Amino acid sequence: MFSGIVEAVGRVQSIRASEDGARIAIEAGAMLDGAKLGESIAINGACMTVVKITGEAFEADVSPESLRMTNLGELKAGDAVNLERALALGDRLGGHMVSGHIDGVGQIRSRRADGDSIWLTVEAPAEVMRYIVFKGSVAVDGISLTVADCGEDSFSIAVIPHTSACTTLTEKKDGSPVNLEADLIGKYVEKFLAPHVGAQTGTSGVSMEKLKEHGYA
């Protein structure tokens, strides 16, 4: 489990394809202090297992499924990545609950200055948008962010200067792919309500009218 608070921006040393997926090596700096083989580190929000540590770099195996479901397969040597080690018992949850299981890959649709912040609009697949709500939480490349606006196929976020300085968002351009993980709580709420509101596979079936009808609103 993660919180969506990026601990460090690492750099890809190499990514090597194999029959079993790929092996990625990342320069992580001091963030690796105390790290052990077998522990979890989120790379751009995707939970990966550390299989090798060399100085201030680590390696992880990326499965074919992870290559399909994330933007990790598009990385190349020198690219920046957001890194976060798994939460330890007693850690503060500074962002929101992030599982490290990516729901889909979106694209940066546009970016503009908004005072000292950056207003980013992200185009997202339907399986992610179904869980996006105004003022809700979403993880974008592993960064816990608040939804400032949402439409049918996209949502917007306001990125403050600190977040810009401490993550890879400053390097994102229009069309850049980003890993997306919707709020975990929303998924469980939908699962719980599905039998009561007649949700069908592929569509939530949840509406304010349905919630009121069953006494939830």
Q: Of all residues in the chain, what percent are helix, strand and coil, respectively (each to 5)?
A: 20, 40, 40
Strand blocks (E) in the chain: 8-18, 21-27, 40-43, 46-54, 57-62, 80-85, 104-114, 117-123, 137-140, 143-150, 154-159, 177-182
Q: State whether residue 52 is helix, strand or coil.
A: strand
Residues 12 and 72: beta-carbon distance below 8 Å: no
18 pLDDT above the threshold of 90: no
Of the candidate ranges 52-56, 82-86, 137-141, 184-188, the one whose mean pLDDT is the lowest: 184-188
Q: Which of 197, 158, 168 is nearest to 8 (CA)?
A: 168
- The whole-number pLDDT of residue 147 equals 97
Of the candidate ranges 7-11, 24-28, 155-159, 213-217, the one whose mean pLDDT is the lowest: 213-217
Q: Which of 25, 15, 108 is nearest to 67 (CA)?
A: 15
Q: Which of 82, 81, 72 is nearest to 22 (CA)?
A: 72
Q: What is the pTM of this model?
A: 0.88
The single-letter code of the amino acid at 136 is G
Q: Which of 177, 180, 173 is nearest to 111 (CA)?
A: 173
The CATH code for residues 8-85 is 2.40.30.20
Residues 7 and 29: beta-carbon distance below 8 Å: no
Q: What is the pLDDT of residues 161-202, one digit of tens each?
A: 999 999 999 889 999 999 999 998 888 888 888 777 664 544
Percent of the chain with pLDDT over 70: 91
Give the span between the Cα atoms of 126 and 140, in whole angstroms. 16
| Domain range summary for the chain, segments of one domain joined by + | 8-85
Element (H, E) at 213: helix 208-213
- The whole-number pLDDT of residue 146 equals 97
